Structure 1
Amino acid sequence: MSRTAGGLALTVPPSGNAPGYVVDVTTAQLELSTRRSGTSVLATAAGDTGALRFRLGGSWQHATRVTGWTWRGGTLTLTADTTADGATVEARLTPSADRYSLDWNVKGAVPDRLGLAYDLKSAGHWYGHGEAETPQGGPGTDQPWPLDSGEVVHPSFSPSSYDMIDPFWYTSSATGLRVDTGHVMDVSINGGMDGIGRFDIESADPYKATVFVESTPLEVYRDYVGIVGKPARSDATYEQYAKPVWNSWAQFYTHVDQARLLDYAQDLHDNGLSGHTLQLDDKWESDYGNMTFDAKAYPDPRAMSDKIHQLGFDFGLWVTLWINLDSDQYRYAADHGYLLKDAGDTTKPCTVTWWNGTAGIVDLGNPEAKAWYVGRLGKLMSSYDIDGLKFDTRFFDDKCAPHEGYQPTDYQRLGAELADRFDLQGVGIRVHWDSTAHRAGFVTRQVDKGTGWNSLRASVTQNLAISTIGYPFVTTDMIGGSSSEPPPSKQVLVRWAQSAALQPLMYSSTSPVDTIDVTTGKKVTYDRQTIDLYRKAIARHERLAPYIWDQVRQTVKTGDPIMRPLFFDFPRDTAAYTITDEWMLGPAVLAALQLTDRATRTVHLPPGIWYDVNHGTVIHGPRTLPAYPAPLGVTPAFVNLRAQGAAKALRALRGADDPVPLALKTPSP
């Protein structure tokens, strides 16, 4: 700890694998700048924005001049004036080898929000966050990568959000920010293209954050996973990684019945479109929450289940904890205290409006309510030979009050514990923010996407975002998208299937045989090439399954993501930090899928010796291929010949009977 011309410098020397760093504290107006090897790698916002900011009486205030400081017990404590009369800030910085904690609070006033603000460009590019709400349509049709390349305006960034999110961000300068809170946040990253990152908490509780300082972004990610936990196992089985699950939602939406579902299953079977499971999604219940089949639409659900099994599929069902007010089970659940209570009036059930009406939510914090719900699920599954479930909707809502003894964040854990009792059939579940969700090893599916090119591209960058906040078993939204839009074009559907084939799991719905245009009610038929190319994508993914399963087992050991940005493996390759349409699948496979309607694309290869799967050539990187041919039938993929698993990946991508290239047999120099 030392004085400088502008204030104070807190120095942490290098040790072990930690690079060391310096935190400079400006005292004229409280600001923090982190340096590594003499270079600034993260700095708070300056000027009127304020670094440590709070909202009081509807107006934003911030810390100004540092009025005192102490260094005691390994903690630097700072006091500062603020722009609000009578209010001061006390901040505490506690350093360790590769990070420092920053917690602070306001004295002399009771604000309703506390926040940190950063100068985005001080750290290079920003990543993390998870599914991002944006003015351009995110997360459904937009997911900026890196985050600062677009705008993120996410005012209800919450543990109970339906978005897959965590309060963790990392940067190209190998710094990171974790905010330790269970409260709702208001996050803005480059909102209005202002170059500022604002991370505000809707609470007057002390603001607690951790700033990581490492040598590479991957090490920052590992630091974060060291806190929240890595998967203890994979919830999905080998077969669920190897083959797609087929779900009825984008194929029919709610216009589904027994005859349509069986015709769908028969078409898939007859056209060699394999899968491990066929799931009946929304609109099978007589009313939402009844857990009984609509007798008119499903005259014999057990016979339907038997036929699906005969065709070689497991049978799955969509379920929710939300019980609509018109369900015959709502009154029973309300009278027995099985529903979450209203936060404003705990004498009555909390009601929430969703895409299917108005509902109450089963309170998983109430052991009797949980037992009642699980018992009903068990009876449903045994009666109709149902193999697994797709849990949808949230387990909590911010309008509701948690059960006595619980906090809102506990419902992520309670939901994860509930879901962990059932086979989720490779479509996973949307729980986040809690270490139980990280450690459970669930497959994570994205929020619904549209059916156009922009959603296909967003599905890729969104998986990169989700997998690098600690949820490594990712799948896109249903191949081809949904969101009640016209069906995807042939090109979008095929490209999406090709893209998913080089990701950990495939989540299918729109049939490449034919589908229904929900906007017109008319049947849409695809051509034979669509079927053949989709089937080819499934076959490629199945051949890759042994390699992918190796990555699953490695992730259980290390926590590292399977699908990840190029710069995780090649941190010194500066071009890799802004690439939006390439990714690594484990250490050996680089996917460079065509995500537009063009027949060529630019491919960037990082340093290494790469085998071009399509052309059978060896390329020494780094190298940029400016007009790589990628017509509809071509899936650009490259194998890093010096990476672990290269031989297995190469056999899968080329075909088992193709000879291994000489370059792979040649030992490294």
Structure 2
Amino acid sequence: MEQREISIKLLADEHWWGGRVSDGLHMPYAAEHGFQASLGGDLLANQACPLLLSNQGRYVWSEEPFDFSIQDRVLHVKNDSGAEIYCSDRHADLRGAYLAASKNHFPSSGEMPERLLFTAPQYNLWIELLYSPTQEKVLQYARDVLEHGMPAGVIMIDDNWHEPYGTWEFHSGRFPDPRGMVDELHRMGFKVMLWVCPFVSPDSLTFRQLEPTGLLLKDHSGQTAIRKWWNGYSAVLDCTHPGAVDWIHRKLRELQVRYGIDGFKFDAGDPNFYEESDRSAVPNHPNGHCEAWAKVGLPYALNEFRACWKLAGTPLVQRLKDKKHSWEGDGLGALIPDALAQGLLGYSFVCPDMIGGGEYIQFTSVANNLDAELFVRYAQCSALFPMMQFSAAPWRVLDREHLGYCVEAANLHAKLGPEIVEIAEHSARTGEPMVRHLAYEFSGQGYESISDQFLLGSRLMAAPILNKGQRSRIVFIPPGEWSGDDGAIIAGPAIIEIEVPLSRLPWYRRVD
């Protein structure tokens, strides 16, 4: 097909963000560092958007996936789809470029997710229960939350609560009275979400019923596609088919009506589970199938996604991909850079990964030797995100001191909850990110390389500790007057050094 390609010479001190959220550690892309990525096919298990943004007020957009690289002070962008690549400039700065791109290509829907997701911690049972959730274990986890002084919030029952994949009915042995369980959770103050995915077990009655209807994805030969994923081999719903979308909505609404389920965690949908040669009701590429699955979640105020293509500006909760129980690499150190990337790609309703790390293979390998300090710093870093999510029970894996620090972080988030909701409402109205890079809000200050601080809205700033054993840090105070968590009043712009014992999460509020 026709190839579109552009080359943009970088300006002095120009930095770029965008593409894949999981490349956050590499952002901003600058002339001194070569970088290349392809947005077609493998999105590295997280969100992506066909958007690049510059601190010099320029942006690049295409409706289809593209490849890009920065080499020799030139940004190269190309695709093979025939879709036009837009380059727009004269928007003054990073914020101006983002707002122009948002207005032109992904204007906000004006809607936001369920408020409880912002006002209290979420409790996802994946790491704690893995593939063995039961009714009693779910209820006991919820009781323990309250017993240890943590706020009731959304509780998410993860994989294997159900009969074979695609059946979407509670397993009668593990959940003998699901309605009674949900009613009890509601009485305790929780709302309840269930994990779902687009897969259908091929040896199930559901598969035999669906296959003749044409609602399942077909491979290049026209046969029902069977794909390997992290828990076996399954058929895949063809979410470009209106009938398939209607079918999954009927299943989910039945769960809401029969059992009082409040919402759903929509997992999988990654482009690498699809192939270019697949046959679907509406011809599509792998990224498009990822987008089609994400659209299934739009009618549900209580939702969560990990993989997503486009759909910026919509009221979908976008969780960072499963992180490791580690300080560096794809662990705690990636939370802020990836969240900054999410915000700049239009995914405003950001949820960090599960506190302590949600990458279960690595987590379980160190389960008997967890780093309590790391667990606390994970909780503190998450507390000023739009959302925070526990899984591994801190009361089980931590001693009293470290547990206390996690409870403090959870209660700080709940205390700020009404203000966080106001920031979410502003984002829904304007399309502006909730989690903001300092360079987004304060252009011309040289903040482009700061990736260990972030703004929540325009007036709250977090400066957590991200390194083991660290008890002090440098904080960049932007222009304005700021009140610190320690009571200090600081006039910016300034650079200060502060003491940060394990009990402290440094955060600041702009007061002028």
Provide closer, same or farther for how the CA distance between residues 489 and 441 of structure 1 changes in structure 2, counting only shifts above 3 A: same
1:583 pairs with one of 454, 469, 473: 454
Give yes or no for contact 2:122–2:390 (8 Å, CA) kept in 1.
yes
The match for 1:85 is none
Q: Which residue of 1 aligns with 2:59?
A: 176
Distance 2:94 2:134 in 1: 48
TM-score (norm 1): 0.69
Instruction: Give the structure 2 partner of residue 348 of structure 1.
Output: 223
Match of 1:456 among 332, 353, 364: 332
Q: Which consecutive segments of 4 or more residues in structure 1 shift more than 6 A? A: none
Do 1:245 and 1:508's aligned partners in 2 also have CA atoms closer than 8 Å?
yes
Percent of counterpart pairs with the same letter?
A: 25
The letter of the residue matching 2:342 is: I
- Tell me, yes or no, if the aligned pair for 2:123 and 2:155 is still in contact at 8 Å: yes
| Alignment partner of 1:185 out of 66, 84, 90 | 66
Contact 1:162-1:394 within 8 A present in 2 as well: no
Q: What residue in structure 2 maps to residue 316 of structure 1?
A: 193
The alignment partner of 1:631 has SS state of coil
1:634 aligns with 2:504: yes
Give yes or no for contact 2:4–2:85 (8 Å, CA) kept in 1.
Answer: no
User: Equivalent residue of 2:192, what SS?
Assistant: strand
Aligned residues of 2:6 and 2:85 also touching (Cα < 8 A): no
The answer to whether the 8 A contact 2:313-2:347 is kept is no
CA contact (8 A) 1:361 1:395 kept: no
Q: 1:612 to 1:380 in 2, by over 3 A?
A: closer
What displacement does 1:207 show?
4.5
Residue 291 of structure 1 deviates from its aligned partner by 1.6
Secondary structure at 1:578's aligned position in 2?
coil
Task: Work out the number of aligned pairs and report it.
Answer: 499
The structural deviation recorded for 1:309 is: 2.8
Matched position secondary structure for 2:104 = helix
Distance 1:200 1:423 in 2: 36
- 1:385 match: 260
Partner of 1:65: none
Which structure's CA Rg is the greater one? 1
Bigger shift: residues 299-308 or 504-513: 299-308
- 1:387, 1:128 → 2: CA distance? 33
Task: Tell me how far apart the structure 1 counterparts of residues 63 and 117 of structure 2 sit (CA, whole Å).
Answer: 34
5 Å-filtered alignment, 1:292-303, equals 292-303=169-180
Query: Helix, strand or coil for the counterpart of 2:204?
Result: coil
Which blocks of at least 5 consecutive residues in structure 1 are unaligned? 1-109, 134-141, 515-524, 643-669
In the TM superposition, what is the alpha-carbon distance from 1:243 to its structure 2 partner?
0.4
Q: 1:373 offset after TM fit, Å?
A: 2.2
Q: Which structure has the highest helix share of the two?
A: 2
Q: 2:15 aligns with which of 121, 125, 137?
A: 125
Q: 1:275 — aligned with what?
A: 152
Measured in 2, the distance between the counterparts of 1:189 and 1:307 equals: 55
Counterpart-to-counterpart distance in 2, 1:406 and 1:267: 49
Measured against aligned partners, the alpha-carbon deviations of 1:152-202 in whole angstroms (never above 9, x if no partner) come to 553453598853111111123332222x242x4334456xxx766443324
RMSD: 2.7
Q: Is it true that 1:200 corresponds to 2:74 in the alignment?
A: no
Counterpart of 1:506 in structure 2: which amino acid? M
**Whose strand proportion is higher, 1 or 2?**
1
CA distance in 2, matches of 1:587, 1:623: 17
1:477–1:507: 8 Å Cα contact kept in structure 2? yes
Cα distance change, pair 395–339 in 1 and its aligned pair in 2 (3 A): farther
Instruction: Measure the CA separation in 2 of the matches of 1:233 and 1:392.
Output: 24
Change (3 A) 1:197 1:358: farther
CA shift in 2, pair 1:174/1:583, >3 Å = same
Match 2:420 to one of 548, 566, 576: 548
Determine the structure 2 residue equivalent to 1:143: 25
Contact 1:323 1:329 survives alignment (8 Å): yes
Q: Tell me the CA shift for residue 318 of structure 1.
A: 0.3
Q: CA deviation at 1:413?
A: 5.8
1:508 matched to 2:381? The reply is no
Matched, 1:248 2:125: yes
Q: 1:163 aligns with which of 35, 40, 46?
A: 46
Amino acid at match of 1:349: T
Alignment of 1:350-429 (within 5 A): 350-394=225-269, 397-399=274-276, 401=278, 403-405=280-282, 407-408=284-285, 411=289, 414-425=292-303, 427-428=304-305
Residue 347 of structure 2 is aligned with which of 471, 486, 494? 471
Mapped contact 2:333–2:466 kept (Cα < 8 A): yes
Aligned twin of 2:87: 210
Q: Tell me how far apart the structure 1 counterparts of residues 225 and 89 of structure 2 sit (CA, whole Å).
A: 40
Amino acid at match of 1:536: E
Matched, 1:621 2:495: no
Question: Are residues 442 and 373 of structure 1, via their aligned partners in 2, closer, same or farther at CA, if it must alter by over 3 Å?
Answer: closer
Q: Secondary structure at the residue paired with 1:497? A: helix
Deviation string, structure 1 residues 556-588 (Cα, Å, up to 9, x no partner): 2322112101111210201x1111111111121
Following the alignment from structure 2 to structure 1, what is the Cα–Cα distance between the partners of residues 38 and 19? 13
* Number of the residue aligned with 1:336: 213
| Counterpart residue identity of residue 132, structure 2 | H
